[in-house]
Structures are given as C-alpha cells and as structure tokens.
Chain A
Amino acid sequence: MQSINILIVGVGGQGTLLTSRVLGNLASDLGYDVKVSEVHGMAQRGGSVVTHVRFGNKVYSPLIEVGKADILLSFEKMEALRWVHYLKERGMVITNDQSINPMPVITGAAEYPDDILDGLKKSTAEVININALDIAKEIGNIRVTNSVLLGVLAKYTDIDYKNWEKALSHTVPPRTVEINLKAFDKGYNARG
C-alpha cells in the first residue's frame, strides 16, 4: 500500500499536536508503519503550525512533500490556503470555518483574504468547510474543537469508528476522554 499522507495545520495553541498523535496511534494500532512530525517550540506561541502524519507499509521520511498530501486538515481557514499546495491532485481539504487574524492583519500591515474557499476550490473540488468551534462551544469547551475536526476527518476514511474511539481515548488526558468522544461524535455526524 502506498503511504497515506495527512497534513494537519493551524495556529499554535489550537491543539493540532494532539490530533496528529491520535492519528499516529490509530495507524500504529492498525499495524502500519507510521511517522508523525510535530512542531514544538517557538511556533507554538500563536505561529503557523503544521504536523505531518504518514502511514503505510514502509515510511521513510516523516515529512510530506509539496504535492503529496492526501488530506489537508486545517484548524483555521487562512492556514488551509497557506498549505493547500501540499495537496496532491484530487486531494481533500477539511477546514474549520474559524478565522484568527495574524498580527500583521491586526496591525493593518496586511489584509485577511476574504475569498479563501474559492482559493481552496481552485486546488481541489473536495473542500469541506465546517464550523467546529461552534460545535465545541455547544458541547461546552472550545478546547475540544480539535476532536470535532477529527470526527469530520474520520467520516471520510474507511477506518472503523471503533478504532477511532480507541485511539482517541488512549491519547487524550484521561479526565477529558468523555468530552472528547462527544466532540468526535458530533464531528462525525456533522454536515459540512
């Protein structure tokens, strides 16, 4: 099997790391060779962050090359556009509808693009836009936005719901399992 490449992007502090770890553990539970490349350090302070998840029979590089990602999962809209060139032809974008202005936009030195979905659709027809932040707010904790998005992603894979549940439960901190599972389920059943 050719490796599956999932690029997870967002803004430092949004919880992309935990999501990539769930995916990594899932792939390893399923018996695949797997590599996950994470971002620690400076960018975690509100910078643009990207983690790479690759699994298959044999994976060498922990990094996905430009033009090779099967799925781009974005926690923030503009970040989806920043990384969309990593997608392969007919790859899929799943993006959170949330916008977070970067400092150059806040100070007025730059403008936040207003045609992001159009920009994404230029790269691929498969664009799913979902308001995961609102769903997380409904559940009562914006910190589970990442699990909502993971649920959306899960729906587009042919991996069993049970396996996802298991990997998620084993990866998140024990006292947050219940709320994360709830968030995952909402995402899984959401209509994007």
Chain B
Amino acid sequence: MELMLGNKAVARGAYESGVKVATAYPGTPSTEITEYIANYDEIYTEWSPNEKIALEVAIGASIAGGRAIVSMKHVGLNVAADPLFTVSYTGVNGGLVVVVADDPGMHSSQNEQDSRYYARAAHIPMLEPADSQEAKDFVRLAFEISEKYDTPVLLRLTTRISHSQSLVSLDEPLPISIKEYTKNPQKNVMMPGMARKRHVFVEKRMKGLANDSCEFEINRIEMGNRKIGIITSGIVYQYAKEAFPEASFLKLGMVHPLPKDLILDFASRVETLYVLEELEPIIEEQVKSWGIPAIGKELFSVQGEYTANMIEQAISGIAVNTQPAEELPNRPPVLCPGCPHRAVFHTLNRLKLTATGDIGCYTLGTLSPLEGLDTCVCMGASIGMAHGFEKVRGKDFAKKMVGVIGDSTFIHSGIGGLIDIVYNKGISTILILDNSITAMTGHQDNPSTGRTIKGEEAPILDLVTLVKAVGINNIHVLDPFDLEASRKILRDELEKEEPSVIIFRRPCALLDKSESLPLRIVSEKCKNCGLCMSIGCPAIQKLDEGMVIDDALCNGCGLCERVCRFNAMERVDL
C-alpha cells in the first residue's frame, strides 16, 4: 500500500493501463497527473499549448492504435469541447480517456461549472472515483470501457479527490500492445454522410452502456438502515458516509449514463431517498424525471463544497453545534516577494491605465494596493477584450489602456486575439508578462522555456519573431524593473495609432537562482512617505516605529530601493 495523491493515482493507473501517449495543459487541480505520468519512461508525455491541442494529439494517438490519456481542469474542457463532441462519434482505436478536474468552491478557478454536463451533452460515459484507490482502478476500467464500447471515456475528479492522499495498492502494468491502424473514413472522417451514421451508433452505444451499467461493480448498493437511502458519487460519498455511516447507499462509480433499473431497485428499498451531489442537480433531475420521489437541492446548495456536518444537519434537521469562526483580516494570495509582475503593475498604476487582464499569477495584481487590472474572464481574453473596448470607446480611450497577458497564456490562446487586432486595424498596446514559465499552476514548462515536460531541451519559441510575423511593427523587450524605461516606452507606444506589443521579461522570483541579500530600511534616512508600500510587497510593513522590511520574507529583488526617493534602503550583510 502506498499513500498517494489522487492525481498521482491517476498517473499510476495510466501506467498500469499501458498508456502510450499522455497530454495536457496545466490547470489546478489537474496539473500533477501529467507531471507524475512524465516520470514513466514508457509513456510519451507532453505539455501541449492548450487543451484543444492536447485532446487532438490524444485522439490522433488513439486512432493510430495506442492508448492515450489527456488531462485538464474543468474550464480546459471548454477549450477542448470542439474535438470532444466529435470524437464521441468517431470513437476510438486504442482506448482514450479524458480526465477532467472540477473545482467546487473555486479554490483556484474563475467559475465552478460542472463537467458532468459535458458527458451528457457529448454522449460520452463518465466515471467518478471517490478516493485514490478508485482513481487508479477507474483509469484501468475507463480504458476497458473505451475499447469495448468504442467511445472516449471521461474521468471526473474534483479538487478533494485530486489533492487528497489515501492508500493505494499497486498492480502490475497490463501487457497492452499497439493496435493495427487501417484507414477507415466511414469511422474517422466526420463529414455529414458518415456522421449521420455514426450518430446512430452513438445512440445505440449509450443505451447499451446504460443497461450494462446496472451490472457494473462500480455502481454499488450498500444496504444499511432503510430509513435513509442516499444516491451519491465521488467525494460526497465520503462526506455522507462520515455523516450517516448506518444509512443505505447507492454509490455510483459511473455518473453517465445512469443505471436506471438499479436506481429504481434501490429507491424501492428505502423510505426516504436523497440525492447528494455537489454543484448541479444532474443525477437528481434524471432520477426525478423517472417519477422517483427524491430530495436533493431542496436541502442542498448548487454552490461550493459540501461537508459531513452540512449533510448531517440538513438530513437530520438538527443543528450540529459548532463554534463560529473568528472575524479576522483576510489573507488573500499575493504576488511573491521579488515577483517581476509587481514592477509592471506599479508602472500601470503610476500611469493610471485601464487594463484588460488575463489568467495567471499576474491576476493577483488586481488586488490592493496595486489594483492594476480591470477584467479577467478566461485565458486569452485580455487581447480580444482590449480590442472590444477600443471599438466602443474609441482610439483616445485605447491610448489609455493596455491588455495584460502572461507568456503561457499568450501561447495558449492570446495569439489569435493579436491577429484579430492587426487584421481589423486596432491600435491596442498589449503587454506580455514573460516570466518564462507557467507559474500559477506550479512552474510548468511551455514552448517559450526551451524545455519539455521530460526535462529535455526543446526549441525556444521566439515571441518577438512570432509577434512580428502576425504584423506587429512596434515591439519592445524590457526588464520590468527598469521603471524609467518602462514608463517612457509605455507612454510612447500608447500614443501611436498602431498596435504595439511590449514584452516584459524577467524570470519568476521563485525560480531565479541569483541570490541577493535582503534589504533593510535605514530609519535615519526614511521619511515615512509610504511610497515603498505602494508596490504591495508582503515583506514591507509599516509599524509604530516606522517602515520595516521582514528579512524572513524579503528576497532582495530591490524594487523598493528603485521606488524610494530618499535612498533609504541598504543591503543586510548576513
């Protein structure tokens, strides 16, 4: 038995299933799956530029005859939705598993959409494990189902499954060989004539699966006390077991399609039937549509995560006595000490610019005191949105605004927006915050870093050449810590009635190996003006005795020194 993160267990499952190709674009809470898979020499693994490409590579691998797995977070499936809906029609050759990690409660996400809707909408079976052991075993089963029923299979995780460790017993890898590839346009070329026939197949496949799933071991009745019957799946099963260990359970391992007869049988054996599922009432609505009386969202929220206390309280109707939490100052995440993004936001703030923003560490520049961003919708949106702002508010407004995007996000889905601006004669100034890594999700390589997920050297995508090829003529590469040049070039570029791109390049502070001594504020020189506070560095604090730098937090980047007008900072000699 090994104590394993849910995500690591998925990786182990891929290894045991003889997977040939694993692809992904990072995204919390799914990222570690592919990082762990990359440790298996047997499996070709890649970070793809975005989720759509990741899925397409996996589909290619599958049709070519190898088993393939692709992983992403819930919003990544939006990006990959186009190929997803049609690979449902083509089906597979080697098994194809699409892992999607939802984030109820939005620990690290911009929304809490429920991926189970995709399973229903795309007519693809979906499995949902409830701990790490199941995470591993369900991957193996998903590949079996995929090949047996000629379908991609979705594996749904949630944050608490992905990021919890529990014990797993390991199995030997299966001897899976690559299947033969034969050209088959009727199955693999989805033109209307072929697709119509494949749609008939899809309907039949899903009916067959719905029937067979009544016999699947992963859909399991645990009879206990008949007063309370609970239909549930995934992590909510664990919360409910914690709250009502004596109740009867129908634990679903497959959440689409549902085993109707099994549900009817279970419902007939219990007095009151509850359907417990975080987020949307997907199981509940289907159960009720079959005329089965059940209680679900009457008692439970479609928002956030559930807890055992919450379930106990809602079903028993008796308040669980707990202390209230203390009212305390919030502790939102912040840009790290030494973060290169901080300098850019300081400059934007000084110039009082409007900024359409994007998703990455730099989104944290929205918060006080930097307050640098006006918007954040989805990856890549900053650029198209800047263009949209201009088309409504005019060129003069566009001269007082920028789009702000990170290197990984620009490659993921920013480049198309830039093509649009050039083609449709916009004048936006776009800032690429190039810390040469995908930082927010924990430092993954991307095409601009010169390394693959396996640590091999790779060609470096040259952003300057790329941006030039798109038709941008005003391009600058700057160190964001050069505050004077930053301000000057920004002002110049904003004035131009042409699009510009400024690449602010400085490595992520957490990866920068150059060691600098921490700084100290010399109280005799400090005038307490508070300017150094305006950069929002967590290491600088205003105490009763004056401004102080916490040497346990300071990384010595020296941005405060550059901002200070009185030369009040000096290096601490350790």
- B308 close to A (CB within 8 Å): yes
- A178 close to B (CB within 8 Å): no
A106 to B542 alpha-carbon distance, docked (Å):
7
Which residue of the partner chain, among B165, B245, B320, B331, contacts A102 with CB atoms under 8 Å?
B331
Question: Are A101 and B164 in touch, CB under 8 angstroms?
Answer: no
> Which of A78-86, A146-154, A155-163, A182-190 is the interface stretch?
A78-86
**CB 8 Å contact bits of A98-125 with B (1 = contact, 0 = none):** 1011111111111111000001000100
- B1 close to A (CB within 8 Å): yes
> Which of B38-46, B79-87, B236-244, B287-295 is the interface stretch?
B236-244
Question: Which residues of A sit under 8 angstroms from B307, Cβ to Cβ?
Answer: 63, 65-66
- A36 close to B (CB within 8 Å): yes
Question: Are A63 and B160 in touch, CB under 8 angstroms?
Answer: yes
Question: Which residues of B sit under 8 angstroms from A33, Cβ to Cβ?
Answer: 167
- B364 close to A (CB within 8 Å): yes
A46 to B325 alpha-carbon distance, docked (Å):
21
- A173 close to B (CB within 8 Å): no
Question: Which residues of B sit under 8 angstroms from A43, Cβ to Cβ?
Answer: 107-108, 333
Question: Are A34 and B331 in touch, CB under 8 angstroms?
Answer: no
**CB 8 Å contact bits of B429-457 with A (1 = contact, 0 = none):** 00000000000111000000000000000
Question: Which residues of B sit under 8 angstroms from A60, Cβ to Cβ?
Answer: 238-239, 241-242, 245
A178 to B308 alpha-carbon distance, docked (Å):
40
Question: Are A107 and B361 in touch, CB under 8 angstroms?
Answer: no
In the complex, how many residue pairs between chain A and chain B have their CB atoms under 8 Å apart? 175
Question: Are B308 and A65 in touch, CB under 8 angstroms?
Answer: yes
Distance in angstroms from A11 CB to nearest chain B CB is 7
Question: Are A111 and B166 in touch, CB under 8 angstroms?
Answer: no
Question: Which residues of A sit under 8 angstroms from B164, Cβ to Cβ?
Answer: 35-38, 62
Question: Which residues of B sit under 8 angstroms from A110, Cβ to Cβ?
Answer: 329-330
Question: Which residues of A sit under 8 angstroms from B131, Cβ to Cβ?
Answer: 35, 62
Question: Which residues of A sit under 8 angstroms from B368, Cβ to Cβ?
Answer: 103-104, 107, 109
A105 to B334 alpha-carbon distance, docked (Å):
13
Distance in angstroms from A189 CB to nearest chain B CB is 23
A63 to B164 alpha-carbon distance, docked (Å):
9
| A106 and B242 in contact, given A38-B165, A40-B29 (Cβ under 8 angstroms) | no
Question: Are A41 and B329 in touch, CB under 8 angstroms?
Answer: no
Q: Which of B307-361 contact A (CB under 8 A)?
A: 307-309, 320-326, 328-336, 361
A43 to B331 alpha-carbon distance, docked (Å):
9
**CB 8 Å contact bits of B481-517 with A (1 = contact, 0 = none):** 0000000000000000000000000000000000000
Which residue of the partner chain, among A38, A46, A85, contacts B333 with CB atoms under 8 Å?
A46
Q: Which residue of A lies closest to B236 (CB)?
A: A61
| A24 and B322 in contact, given A40-B29, A63-B307 (Cβ under 8 angstroms) | no
| A40 and B31 in contact, given A34-B3, A61-B308 (Cβ under 8 angstroms) | yes
A133 to B328 alpha-carbon distance, docked (Å):
23
Distance in angstroms from A160 CB to nearest chain B CB is 19
Q: Among the interface residues B322, B330, B331, B552, which one has the most CB atoms of the partner chain A within 10 A?
A: B331
Q: A46-B331, A107-B368 given. 18 additional CB < 8 A pairs?
A: A34-B167, A39-B163, A40-B28, A40-B163, A41-B441, A48-B330, A62-B166, A63-B239, A65-B308, A67-B320, A67-B323, A85-B326, A100-B550, A100-B553, A101-B538, A101-B541, A102-B332, A112-B329
By Cβ-Cβ distance, the 4 closest A-B pairs, closest first, are A41-B108, A41-B28, A110-B329, A47-B333
Interface pairs (28), CB distance under 8 Å = A28-B167, A34-B167, A35-B166, A37-B160, A40-B29, A41-B440, A44-B442, A46-B333, A47-B333, A60-B242, A61-B308, A62-B164, A62-B165, A63-B307, A63-B308, A66-B307, A67-B321, A85-B324, A100-B550, A100-B553, A104-B332, A104-B368, A105-B329, A105-B541, A106-B542, A109-B329, A109-B368, A119-B326
